[in-house]
């Protein structure tokens, strides 16, 4: 597994923005079972991945 992919799965290596999105996902996951909430988690995951893509790109430039 590459350095950037490892960073994405380690909570201690997430940026504050990534961690905030992760935390929001956890809160929504604890709510009731509902398709809309599942979709919300999926959208949050997409947002987290977009932020991670940006962070990884910035790290690769260093």
Q: Please state the pTM of the whole predicted model.
A: 0.88
Residue 1: pLDDT band (50, 70, 90) is very low
Helices (H) and strands (E) in the chain, counts: 3, 0
Which residue in 53, 51, 5 sits closest to 25, CA to CA?
51
Read off the pLDDT of residues 2-61 as tens digits, 9 standing for 90 and up: 555 789 999 999 999 999 999 999 999 999 999 999 999 999 999 999 999 999 999 999
Q: Look up the domain containing 61 and give its range.
A: 17-26+33-62
DSSP 13: G
Which residue in 3, 1, 17 sits closest to 52, CA to CA?
17
Number of domains the chain contains: 1
């Amino acid at each position: 597994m590459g350095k950037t992919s490892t960073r994405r799965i380690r909570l201690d290596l997430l940026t504050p923005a990534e961690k905030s999105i992760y935390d929001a996902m956890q809160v929504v996951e604890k709510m009731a079972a509902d398709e809309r909430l599942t979709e919300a988690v999926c959208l949050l995951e997409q947002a987290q991945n977009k932020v991670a893509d940006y962070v990884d790109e910035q790290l690769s430039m260093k």
